[in-house]
């Protein structure tokens, strides 16, 4: 499983039946027992009999079009297709008779008479099901010849940057169409024309790039011929070995088979046995991995005394010794707590654990924080307070058992695409959807899906909306009284019931503030409370507010009040933004918590770590990220070790962050590119991309999955090795020979991880969900089953406190931010891939009324100004946003969305209020002063980097990516999914 020769995964032909009734039949003399509803084709495969097939695949409903899988059944006339024939008790099936051989050969003859005979030069040579089937049926000649009418001259569509469509090779099996419909849920493909003229068409017979295609690649994976093929396979040929690993983009945590030729990736194929993604992926994970070998990769350690000096390339040893001596010098001069560290949600659990250990044990301070501070820290606080554990309650599979979904402040089609596909599938099956979001996200109305309710909440009023929903549930007798009586604290519940029942919390009383029509809110509350299994999925549109923690608690209140926790199909599910944001929190990255969410002031817990680590630990929490910045500006915080995090681009109020960095004496950056933060650094340590890592990521389901080394670290040292080297140089020994030993230490010290090890993960099929310990040796797919982790669930009062960021005469619009499908976070990776074909700049979405009031037209340059600063973006005039609300993404440093966001934060966790910034917008003709400054500073820093390269007479660059020399593409229309 770890590293294998490349081979196609076993395909059982049709999906598994979920029936519990078992049926016995005989196939070719072999008895087999299968669940009712299983196809004869699948039953045969289970019995080890491979009936030839072309149009069937076990992730798609059977279409019965190719006629290759015909069988004979005793007592039945004709030759039924085994893929569309369900098993029956006592059935006697024959799959290999001379008549069947003859029919199958005839079918193949027809296919091959209209197929190029270029197998030896075809990119799919060696990986083609048509070729395989020709061999299996024993095709020896084609009686119809090749001269008749055919499609051999049809033109190739190479418009998509990642795959080509060659219609001359299409056998019109419709697998691609069904994959797009059933697996991805985009419905971008159809079969155009009839009979011989039928062809696959994207959109309205457009190029793939001009169609609704979101480039997920499911059709490419489904295609049994060379018709839809990855361009990397066309360029490089078939791979010769593969490694199973985990995507490093979003918190879905898709498992992939990295197919390799030597140390070069040929393609990434979603792993069929991946327990989070079940063989599906999105454009980022499947295609956007070329950044790993981009020419901008920084592969040599560098140091400099001041940020206006050129960088000096040095050995790893010199860089590490210099960094350690600076940390000690600064601590000697300014005190032990004048330094700190930042862990990364992009890095593995093992790497993250080591960084927080380095800070606590080697620096001797609790000044450690992580990027979760600025995204899901309110989830930790809110869920821990109410139900006792800082994590989502379900598996992704659980959504297939839900009846009503509340989707709040999340846009999974853009940010968690593989989960979105699963959700869409369930919605097509009949589950109901309630969207609570200021924007009209794709799921409100998309092919074959229409939300029952879209509550267009005014940014900043989430808490009021959820309390109003609770009001409806409490005052209309919709509470699950028995569940609450058994599972929750009575006194807190009664206080909550009284609180939410007050007239001022009714939908009618809050409508003017929230902007949500009272009737819709009442309807949505009734639907959630009475519609069967109710689940809540939410994102940063919930947490990144001044009341983020309160809103998370309001979500938990709703779920407890309706009995929607502790079983399949329900639950409270934070959709995590980054690949390992759950893991970075689990690993003790917050200044007040040791691994496993245990407070540093707990003497017993701290004692365990002190004994294991052989060092005294501080009992007081350290500085949070924003406190570190404030302390740096005021002169008491002087050095920072930052692994895999670009705080200048991703944190709010960019000018304040930059001022803090300028005020420090030593900034140590460990990253793969010279990112915005590294431009302020004094020590640069080359980081490794996910393809070079060995360890584990933990996704939004608490699923710990293995990340395996696909290529050796290009900079010569793995991230965990560099952290160990720094620790050793500081005089605190860290000696591990493999990341598995780090996981063993984590398991030793963290009760929820006690049963986790690399071998356990392998034994569990590639992943395991924590808690995994003596009580749950195989992990915990669903939490809070018999009781809540904290014992009794605790209802919390959720008083609505309006944000300070309110629209005023000076700043009349509310800016909210998010992501787009093709780009990821600060864009450091995706901007260095062909994903820029879809989204090459951040744009400002503005409603036509607001645009007209300001004389703004589509594509105009627009200045947005807040009390923090000003930046300029191009306008996208659209009704996706409501009047009074504007929206942008933050993927490109030059747009500086966070120049505008303010230092307003969540009251409990200091998570920034990214989702509400009061701004004014006006049409302009030139960039903002900040953008001019950014350009100057960036050019200076790149110049200093250049001087380093010239002085050393070499370019410290990676092997060029295969397409990096291409000119920058013109922006194409953005994909339809936005966040």
Q: Which residues does residue 817 pair with via DSSP β-bridges, in sequence order? A: 888
Query: CA 739 to CA 721: how far, in whole Å?
Result: 9
Stretch that binds ligand FES, among 59-67, 256-264, 437-445, 456-464 (CB under 6 A): 59-67
Of these, 64, 203, 310, 621, which contacts ligand FES (CB under 6 A)?
Answer: 64
Name which of 311 and 697 has its Cβ closer to ligand SF4. Answer: 697
Stretch that binds ligand SF4, among 185-193, 311-319, 468-476, 722-730 (CB under 6 A): 185-193
Tell me which of ligand SF4, ligand FES, none is bound by residue 223, counting a contact when its beta carbon lies within the kind-specific cut-off of 5 to 8 angstroms.
ligand SF4
Residues 79/109, Cβ–Cβ less than 8 Å:
no
Shortest CB 46 distance to ligand SF4, Å: 25
Shortest CB 83 distance to ligand FES, Å: 3
- Interaction between residue 55 and ligand FES (CB under 6 A): yes
- Interaction between residue 209 and ligand SF4 (CB under 6 A): no
Q: Which two tokens stand for residue 925?
A: 């003709």
- Interaction between residue 700 and ligand SF4 (CB under 6 A): no
Query: CA 520 to CA 956: how far, in whole Å?
Result: 59
- Interaction between residue 171 and ligand SF4 (CB under 6 A): yes
- Interaction between residue 42 and ligand FES (CB under 6 A): no
Residue of 786, 755, 788, 748 lying closest to 771 (CA atoms)? 755
- Interaction between residue 134 and ligand SF4 (CB under 6 A): no
Tell me which of ligand FES, ligand SF4, none is bound by residue 908, counting a contact when its beta carbon lies within the kind-specific cut-off of 5 to 8 angstroms.
none
**Which residue bears the tokens 């395996």?**
708
Query: CA 748 to CA 906: how far, in whole Å?
Result: 34
Query: CA 394 to CA 783: how far, in whole Å?
Result: 7
Enumerate residues 6+ apart whose C-beta is below 8 A from 77: none
Count of residues engaged in binding ligand FES, rule: CB under 6 A: 12
Residues 399/375, Cβ–Cβ less than 8 Å:
no
Tell me which of ligand SF4, ligand FES, none is bound by residue 249, counting a contact when its beta carbon lies within the kind-specific cut-off of 5 to 8 angstroms.
ligand SF4
Stretch that binds ligand FES, among 53-61, 560-568, 916-924, 944-952 (CB under 6 A): 53-61
Shortest CB 136 distance to ligand FES, Å: 12
Residue of 273, 68, 54 lying closest to 175 (CA atoms)? 54
Which of the 8 DSSP states describes residue 2? -
Of these, 41, 44, 218, 877, which contacts ligand SF4 (CB under 6 A)?
Answer: 218
Query: CA 411 to CA 448: how far, in whole Å?
Result: 17
Tell me which of ligand SF4, ligand FES, none is bound by residue 69, counting a contact when its beta carbon lies within the kind-specific cut-off of 5 to 8 angstroms.
ligand FES
Name which of 60 and 658 has its Cβ closer to ligand FES. Answer: 60
Write phi, then psi, for 603 (nearest 5 degrees): -60, -40
Q: Is the sign of the CA dihedral 425, 431, 437, 438 positive or negative?
A: positive
Helix %, strand %, coil % of the chain (to 5): 35, 20, 45
Name which of 254 and 358 has its Cβ closer to ligand SF4. Answer: 254
Query: CA 268 to CA 711: how far, in whole Å?
Result: 14
Name which of 106 and 531 has its Cβ closer to ligand FES. Answer: 106
Q: Which two tokens stand for residue 611?
A: 């004994």
- Interaction between residue 184 and ligand SF4 (CB under 6 A): yes
- Interaction between residue 188 and ligand SF4 (CB under 6 A): yes
Which burial class, exposed, middle or buried, applies to 508 when counting CB atoms under 10 A from its CB (0-12, 13-18, 19+)? Answer: middle
Of these, 23, 49, 200, 451, which contacts ligand SF4 (CB under 6 A)?
Answer: 200
Q: Which segments of 881-928 does DSSP mark as H helices, in order? A: 897-900
Stretch that binds ligand SF4, among 208-216, 730-738, 746-754, 783-791 (CB under 6 A): 208-216
Write phi, then psi, for 543 (nearest 5 degrees): -85, -35
Tell me which of ligand FES, ligand SF4, none is bound by residue 68, counting a contact when its beta carbon lies within the kind-specific cut-off of 5 to 8 angstroms.
ligand FES
- Interaction between residue 112 and ligand SF4 (CB under 6 A): no
Q: Count other C-beta atoms under 10 Å from residue 199's C-beta.
A: 15
Enumerate residues 6+ apart whose C-beta is below 8 A from 215: 160, 162, 163, 208, 283, 287, 822, 838, 975
Q: By three-state DSSP, how is residue 581 classified? A: helix
Q: Which segments of 429-578 does DSSP mark as H helices, in order? A: 462-475, 481-487, 490-501, 507-514, 518-530, 540-543, 548-561
- Interaction between residue 396 and ligand SF4 (CB under 6 A): no
Binders of ligand SF4 in range 221-280 (CB under 6 A): 222-223, 225, 227-228, 247, 249-250, 252-254, 277
- Interaction between residue 417 and ligand SF4 (CB under 6 A): yes
Of these, 34, 56, 83, 214, which contacts ligand SF4 (CB under 6 A)?
Answer: 214
Shortest CB 53 distance to ligand FES, Å: 3
Tell me which of ligand SF4, ligand FES, none is bound by residue 64, counting a contact when its beta carbon lies within the kind-specific cut-off of 5 to 8 angstroms.
ligand FES
Q: Which two tokens stand for residue 469?
A: 């929903």
- Interaction between residue 68 and ligand FES (CB under 6 A): yes
Residues that bind ligand FES (CB under 6 A): 53-56, 64-69, 81, 83
Residues that bind ligand SF4 (CB under 6 A): 170-176, 179-180, 184, 186, 188-189, 200, 213-219, 222-223, 225, 227-228, 247, 249-250, 252-254, 277, 281-282, 284-285, 416-418
């Amino acid at each position: 499983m770890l590293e294998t020769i490349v081979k196609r995964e076993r395909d059982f032909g049709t999906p598994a039946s979920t029936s519990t009734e078992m049926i016995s039949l005989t196939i070719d003399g072999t008895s087999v027992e299968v669940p009712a509803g299983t196809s004869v084709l699948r039953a045969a495969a289970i019995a080890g009999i491979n009936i030839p097939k072309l149009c069937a695949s076990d992730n798609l409903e059977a279409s019965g079009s190719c006629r290759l899988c015909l069988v004979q059944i005793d007592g039945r006339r004709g030759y039924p297709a085994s893929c569309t024939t369900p098993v029956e008790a006592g059935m006697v099936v024959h799959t290999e008779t001379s008549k069947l051989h003859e029919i199958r050969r005839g079918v193949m003859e027809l296919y091959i008479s209209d197929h190029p005979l270029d197998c030896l030069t075809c990119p799919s040579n060696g990986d083609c099901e048509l070729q395989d089937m020709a061999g299996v049926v024993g095709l020896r000649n084609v009686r119809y010849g090749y001269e008749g009418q055919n499609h051999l001259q049809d033109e190739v569509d190479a418009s998509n940057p990642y795959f080509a469509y060659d219609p001359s090779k299409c056998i019109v099996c419709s697998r691609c169409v069904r994959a797009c419909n059933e697996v991805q849920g985009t419905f971008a493909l159809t079969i155009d024309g009839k009979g011989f003229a039928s062809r696959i068409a994207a959109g309205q017979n457009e190029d793939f790039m001009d169609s609704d295609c979101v480039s997920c690649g499911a059709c490419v994976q489904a295609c049994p011929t060379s018709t839809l093929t990855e361009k990397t396979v066309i360029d490089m040929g078939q791979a010769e070995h593969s490694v199973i690993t985990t995507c490093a983009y979003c918190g879905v945590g898709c498992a992939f088979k990295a197919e390799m030729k030597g140390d070069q990736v040929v393609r990434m194929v979603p792993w069929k046995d991946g327990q989070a993604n079940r063989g599906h992926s999105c454009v980022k994970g499947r295609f956007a991995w070329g950044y790993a070998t981009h020419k901008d990769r920084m592969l040599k350690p560098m140091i400099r005394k001041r940020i206006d000096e050129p960088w000096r390339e040095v050995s790893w040893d010199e860089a590490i010794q210099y960094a350690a001596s600076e940390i000690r010098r600064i601590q000697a001069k300014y005190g032990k707590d004048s330094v700190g560290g930042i862990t990364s949600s992009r890095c593995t659990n093992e790497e993250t654990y080591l960084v927080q250990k380095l800070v606590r044990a080697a620096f001797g301070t609790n000044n450690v924080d992580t990027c979760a501070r600025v995204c899901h820290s309110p989830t930790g606080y809110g869920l821990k307070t109410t139900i006792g554990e800082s994590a989502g309650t379900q598996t992704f599979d659980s959504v297939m058992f839900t009846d009503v979904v509340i989707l709040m402040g999340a846009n999974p089609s853009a940010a968690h695409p593989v989960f979105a596909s699963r959700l869409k599938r369930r919605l097509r099956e009949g589950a109901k959807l309630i969207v609570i979001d200021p924007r009209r996200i794709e799921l409100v109305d998309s092919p074959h899906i229409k939300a029952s309710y879209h509550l267009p909440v005014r940014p900043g009023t989430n808490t009021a909306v959820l309390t109003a929903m609770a009001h409806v549930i409490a005052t209309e007798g919709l509470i699950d009284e028995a569940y609450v009586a058994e599972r929750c604290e009575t006194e807190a519940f009664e206080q909550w019931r009284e609180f939410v029942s007050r007239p001022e919390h009714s939908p009618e009383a809050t409508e003017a503030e929230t902007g949500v029509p009272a009737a819709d809110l009442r309807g949505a509350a009734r639907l959630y409370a009475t519609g069967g299994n109710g689940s809540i999925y939410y994102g940063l549109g919930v947490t990144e507010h001044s009341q983020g923690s309160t809103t998370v608690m309001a979500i938990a209140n709703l779920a407890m009040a309706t009995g929607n926790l502790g079983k399949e199909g329900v639950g409270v599910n934070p959709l995590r933004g980054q690949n390992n944001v759950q893991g970075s929190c689990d690993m003790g990255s917050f200044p007040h918590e040791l691994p496993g969410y245990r407070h540093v002031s707990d003497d017993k817990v701290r004692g365990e770590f002190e004994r294991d680590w052989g060092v005294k630990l501080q009992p007081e929490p350290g500085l949070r990220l924003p406190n570190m910045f404030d302390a740096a500006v005021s002169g008491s915080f002087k050095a920072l070790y930052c692994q895999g995090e670009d705080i200048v681009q991703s944190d709010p109020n960019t000018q304040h962050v930059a001022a803090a960095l300028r005020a420090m004496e030593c900034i140590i950056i460990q990253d793969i590119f010279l990112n915005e933060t590294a431009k302020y650094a004094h020590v640069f340590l080359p980081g490794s991309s996910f393809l070079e890592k060995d360890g584990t990521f933990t996704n939004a389901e608490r699923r710990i999955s293995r990340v395996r080394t696909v290529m050796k670290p290009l900079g010569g040292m793995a991230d965990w090795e560099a952290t160990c080297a720094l620790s050793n140089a500081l005089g605190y020994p860290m000696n591990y020979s493999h990341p598995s030993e780090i996981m063993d230490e984590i398991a030793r010290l963290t009760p929820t991880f006690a049963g986790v090890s690399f071998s356990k993960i392998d034994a569990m099929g590639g992943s395991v969900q924590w808690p995994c310990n003596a009580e749950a040796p195989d992990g915990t797919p669903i939490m809070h089953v018999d009781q809540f982790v904290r014992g009794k669930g605790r209802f919390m009062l959720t008083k609505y406190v309006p944000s300070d960021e309110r629209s005023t005469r000076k700043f009349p619009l509310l800016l909210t931010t998010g992501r787009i499908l093709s780009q990821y976070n600060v864009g450091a990776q995706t901007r260095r891939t062909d994903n820029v074909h879809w989204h090459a700049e951040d744009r400002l979405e503005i409603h036509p009324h607001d645009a007209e009031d300001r004389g703004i037209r589509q594509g105009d340059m627009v200045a947005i100004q807040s009390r923090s600063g000003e930046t300029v973006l191009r306008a996208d005039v659209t009704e996706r946003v409501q009047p009074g609300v504007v929206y942008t993404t933050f993927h490109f440093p030059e747009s500086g969305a966070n120049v505008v966001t303010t230092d307003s934060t969540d009251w409990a966790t200091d998570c920034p209020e990214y989702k509400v910034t009061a701004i004014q917008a006006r049409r302009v003709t030139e960039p903002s002063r900040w953008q001019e400054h950014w350009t100057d500073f960036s050019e200076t820093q790149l110049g200093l980097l250049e001087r380093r390269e010239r002085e050393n007479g070499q370019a410290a660059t990676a092997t060029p990516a295969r397409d990096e020399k291409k000119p920058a593409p013109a922006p194409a229309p953005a994909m339809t999914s936005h966040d």
